[in-house]
Each structure stands twice: as structure tokens, then as C-alpha cells.
Structure 1
Amino acid sequence: MYVLKHGIKKNPERFWALPDRVFFGYGACPILTGTFLRHPPMDGFYGERIIPGEGFSGNHLYVTNGVIAFDYHGYSSRERLLEHHRRVWASHSAGWHCTLERVDFDLLDTTELNRRKMRGPDQYLHDPVPRAVRYLQRIDHAEAAARASKVAMRLKPLTKLAKAGPQ
């Protein structure tokens, strides 16, 4: 998780100039997730969303197959990703909590994203989808997913991040 200097996210030039990992980790996660799902490098994944409780920040989107997950960090166990996210946001805001929701909308559709207070692809300085495609192409998905699966199999569930998970 990255914390940007005030105003960067609202400045299209400065936001676009961020390194890919920061760009997709701090605001453009719907684009990375939507691009993964539109051009899946691996089968069996679906989008999942962390929705912070009322009055809290910390919205995040990633793909998962229920055991492992992929976001701007790369592949990890789903439990580890969720625990990391909870720990970081709880350290910033006492009482931080969230729910998890399986994504049932097009993550590359501006109208759908705006309804959920996220930017659509046409609301960036340039088209972020080709940038996400290039980011995804740099990864050996099979190898990285296999490593994350081995770790996930050794871990016990670390936490109950959300009040209710996807059904």
C-alpha cells in the first residue's frame, strides 16, 4: 500500500507519471483487475472488492480463485492479501472494518465504476488499459500463481477480514 502526497491523485499528469505498481495500487486497481478479467492469463479467477465501512477509506479490487489472489503486488494467498489490507488500514483508522463483495459488474465500464465512486478508463490522462496489459504481460502468471498456491496451502486462515464474504 502506498500513501501519496496530497493532490497527486487529483493531478492527471502527476498521477499518470507514477510507476506502474503505485499507479495500479493507488486508484487504478479497477483497471488492472478489469484488464486481467478481460484478457485472463489464467482461468478460474473472478473479481472481488473490499468495501470499507461507512466513513472509512480503503476500497480495493483484485482477482482471486478463492485461494490465491492477484493485485498490484502480484500473486499471494488470498488470506495474506486480506490480512495485509486490514492491518494497514486499521493502523490508520481505529475501528476500520469492511465487507467483501464478488464483482458482478464490468470493471472497465466508466458508468459502472462511477456508480461505485471509482474512475473509469476514459477518466485518466491517457488510456490505462494498454498500460495494464503491458503490466500483466511482464509476469509469468503460471509460475507466480504456483508459488502463491504453495504458500496458501501451508497457511491456516489468518483472519476474518469482513463481516460477510462472497457467497
Structure 2
Amino acid sequence: MYRPPACFKRTDAERRDQLLSWDRDDLAFFASGACHILAYAFMDTYPDAGFQPVGLWSREAKDPGHLYVTNGTWAFDHDGWTLESELLRVTREAAPVNDFQPRPILMDLDTFCLRHYHRPRELFAFDPWERALRYIAEFPAPAAGAGAPI
């Protein structure tokens, strides 16, 4: 079953100390604090797989709280492959007051970070890009044509 990002919230200390945040395991790191890096690294790895970055906005929020990629059926994020409908259902159940709504992200990573107050690569303790690529490689690639996991 899908584990929503709310299960991996950073502590106040992890928010203040990037090295402490960096030292979390990959699942927690990419669930809370670096989901946007993972989404864009996925797009860079599989540019022709038919996926699009999507942000989850809570009610009245100006910025998304979580990013994932989807082809409209399958989603990929910190928890690997999940049906998008399950990702949305479980995430909403974990925090019903937030009324999370998905919206496509139609900009590059640097612009996204600037507009939506997400940490750019250079402000992490270390560059998270290679870490994201290694994490993505742990999961099956999208199947050619179908966009679903193998």
C-alpha cells in the first residue's frame, strides 16, 4: 500500500539542518524535502515515457506540498510505482483537512523552485541529483509505449 509523504515529515531540526535532513534514508528524503528533485530527475531519465510532473496543493495553499510524476494512470514518487488514484486516495485520507488537489507543473526545475519556494539543488547539503538517479534506478523502468512499470 502507498505510504503518503505525511508519514515522513521532517522534524524542525531537519528543516534547519540540511546535513541532518540529508542523512535520512532515501524514502524519507524523497518523500519530504526532495520530492521535486526526484520528479525532475525522473523526467530527465525518461523524457519520452509520457509522464508529467504534478504538484499536490492543499486547500488555499500557494505552493504544492508534494510533487510526483504521472502518465494519468501510473504515478512515480518516493514510494516507487503507484496507481495515481491510490496515491491521491491515500494521501487525502492521511490528511483530509488539506483536500489535496493535483495540478500539472509546466516549468523547469529552477523556475519551479523559485516560484514555489522549494529548495534548489545548490542549497541541499550535497547535490541531490545523483542520489535521485540512483534511487530511480532501483525501480523498474516504464514499459515502452504503455508507460506502466514493467
- So what's the TM-score if we normalise by structure 1? 0.75
Q: How many residues align?
A: 141
By how many angstroms is 1:132 displaced? 0.4
The letter of the residue matching 1:101 is R
Q: Cα offset for 1:4?
A: 3.3
Q: Kindly report structure 1 stretches of 4+ aligned residues shifted beyond 4 Å.
A: 55-58
Q: CA deviation at 1:53?
A: 1.5
Q: Are the structure 2 counterparts of residues 115 and 146 from structure 1 closer, same or farther at C-alpha, using a change threshold of 3 Å?
A: closer
SS for the counterpart of 2:20 is: helix
In structure 2, stretches of 5+ residues that fail to align are 1-6
Pick from 35, 53, 75 the counterpart of residue 69 of structure 1. Answer: 75
Q: Give the SS at the match of 1:61.
A: strand
Which structure: larger Rg?
1
In structure 1, the partner of 2:113 is 113
Q: CA deviation at 1:16?
A: 0.7
- Mapped to 2, the partners of 1:65 and 1:117 lie a distance apart of 25
**Is 2:37 the counterpart of 1:31?**
yes
Query: Offset of 1:140 from its aligned partner?
Result: 1.8
Question: Secondary structure of the equivalent of 1:9?
Answer: helix
Equivalent residues in 2 for 1:8-47, closer than 5 Å: 8-40=14-46, 43-47=49-53
Give the TM-score normalised by the residue count of structure 2: 0.83
Q: CA deviation at 1:9?
A: 2.2
